[in-house]
């Protein structure tokens, strides 16, 4: 089991300088949004942060605090179906979405509601894991909006274990077609103790940060989310097929930084290299010994990651002659 974390030591949105709101989307689903203004009001820029699958705002508070310390304002959200946004199934512990486009529809409304285009620039897009994949779609759909895009362990493709990719895709499509779209993908299930063991976990080598994730869930069990439904899985694979093409990625001309975990066990590093080669202006940096949650890793690894992020952002503000 992971190390214990005292509830009173956990950061909150408010203690990190943020405010929360719950706007209702066009289809009636409530989404949780958090805004974190830059300290002192003079922003170095504004970061739109897109979380990964199962994630919730509280999980990113340390990263948000680091960005604010650098002078950035941050806007983020809980995707529909996770965090404290409305869940989509009676089984609240199942990750589900009918189509990844629904996430992007919500993002469009968030951009409008937060007046993101009017925020202090430069405007930076940051996406982790599933959020990294969705960030590529957002950058594609909004040319010229973002000055920089940062992808942390992006879901360029999903590891399917022993199943070859075409077989996994066919199985998911068949399962959805015969009515099993709201069943868990085999090998997954509700959030449970099997997700809480630190040894061998795929997320981070830092025991304190790993424990903090689960302490946040213990403090508010409504944050918990388990594995994905077949429908989520099929939708993700379809969306990946849409994005991972030269014709699609070549239209994303904004500079992109891909942060790749050397000890990745969740998404495909090979696919990250493939999309990096198809993006017109992309740099991929791999961090040996790091697991999927690069910014929740051990301090010595986080320092390297932040070094790359800082250099990338400074380059964007003050380009070399």
- Spell out the domain ranges in the chain: 7-317
Return the beta strands (E) in 144-275 as ranges: 148-152, 256-261
In this prediction, residues 7-25 reach a mean pLDDT of 93
pLDDT tens for 112-134 read 999 999 999 999 999 999 999 99
pLDDT tens for 263-301 read 999 999 999 999 999 999 999 999 999 999 999 999 999
The pLDDT, as a whole number, for residue 40 is 86
Nearest of 45, 43, 47, 19 to residue 33 by alpha carbon: 19
Mean pLDDT for the chain overall: 94
Cβ proximity of 133 and 243 under 8 Å: yes
The pLDDT, as a whole number, for residue 2 is 52
Cβ proximity of 39 and 17 under 8 Å: yes
Confidence of residue 317 (pLDDT cuts 50, 70, 90): very low
Q: Which residue has the tokens 């199985």?
A: 171
> Hey, how many other C-beta atoms are within 10 angstroms of the C-beta on 249?
21
**Residues whose CB is less than 8 angstroms from the CB of residue 112 and which lie 6 or more positions away in sequence, other chains included:** none
pLDDT tens for 30-80 read 999 999 999 987 789 999 999 999 999 999 999 999 999 999 999 999 999
The percent of residues in the chain predicted with pLDDT above 70, rounded, is 95
DSSP-assigned states of every residue in 277-319 = HHSSSEEEEEETT--S-GGGS-HHHHHHHHHHHHHHHHHHHS-
pLDDT tens for 211-244 read 999 999 999 999 999 999 999 999 999 999 999 9
Confidence of residue 147 (pLDDT cuts 50, 70, 90): very high
Cβ proximity of 55 and 82 under 8 Å: yes
The pLDDT, as a whole number, for residue 103 is 99
For residue 264, give the DSSP letter.
-
3-state secondary structure of 215: helix
In this prediction, residues 167-184 reach a mean pLDDT of 95
Nearest of 104, 144, 136 to residue 241 by alpha carbon: 136
The pLDDT, as a whole number, for residue 310 is 98
CATH number belonging to the domain at 7-317, selected among 1.20.1600.10, 2.60.40.10, 3.40.50.2020, 3.40.50.1820: 3.40.50.1820
């Amino acid at each position: 089991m992971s190390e214990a974390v005292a509830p009173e030591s956990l950061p909150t949105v408010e203690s990190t300088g943020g405010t929360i709101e719950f706007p209702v989307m066009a289809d009636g689903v409530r989404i949780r949004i958090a805004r974190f203004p830059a300290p002192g009001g003079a922003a170095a820029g504004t970061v739109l942060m897109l979380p990964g699958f199962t994630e919730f705002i509280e999980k990113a508070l340390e990263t948000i605090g680091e960005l604010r310390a650098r002078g950035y304002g941050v806007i983020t959200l809980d995707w529909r179906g996770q965090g404290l946004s409305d869940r989509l199934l009676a089984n609240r512990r199942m990750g589900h979405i009918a189509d990844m486009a629904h996430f992007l529809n919500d993002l469009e409304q968030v951009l409008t509601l937060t007046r993101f285009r009017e925020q202090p620039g430069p405007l930076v897009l940051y996406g982790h894991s599933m959020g990294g994949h969705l960030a590529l779609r957002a950058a594609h759909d909004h040319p010229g909006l973002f000055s920089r895009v940062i992808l942390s362990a992006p879901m360029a493709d999903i590891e399917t274990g022993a199943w070859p990719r075409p077989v996994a895709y066919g199985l998911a499509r068949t399962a959805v077609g015969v009515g099993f779209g709201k069943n868990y993908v085999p090998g997954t299930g509700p959030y449970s103790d099997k997700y809480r063991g630190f040894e061998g976990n795929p997320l981070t080598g830092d025991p304190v940060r790993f424990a903090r994730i689960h302490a946040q869930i213990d403090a508010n069990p409504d944050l918990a989310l388990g594995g994905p439904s077949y429908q989520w899985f099929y939708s993700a694979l379809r969306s990946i097929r849409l994005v991972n093409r030269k014709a699609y990625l070549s239209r994303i001309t904004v500079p992109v930084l891909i942060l790749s975990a050397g000890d990745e066990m969740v998404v495909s590093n090979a696919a990250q290299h493939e999309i990096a080669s198809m993006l017109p202006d992309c740099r991929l940096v791999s961090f040996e010994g790091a697991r999927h949650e690069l910014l929740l890793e051990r301090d010595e690894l986080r320092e390297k990651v932040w070094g790359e992020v800082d250099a990338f952002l400074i380059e964007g503000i003050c380009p070399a002659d």
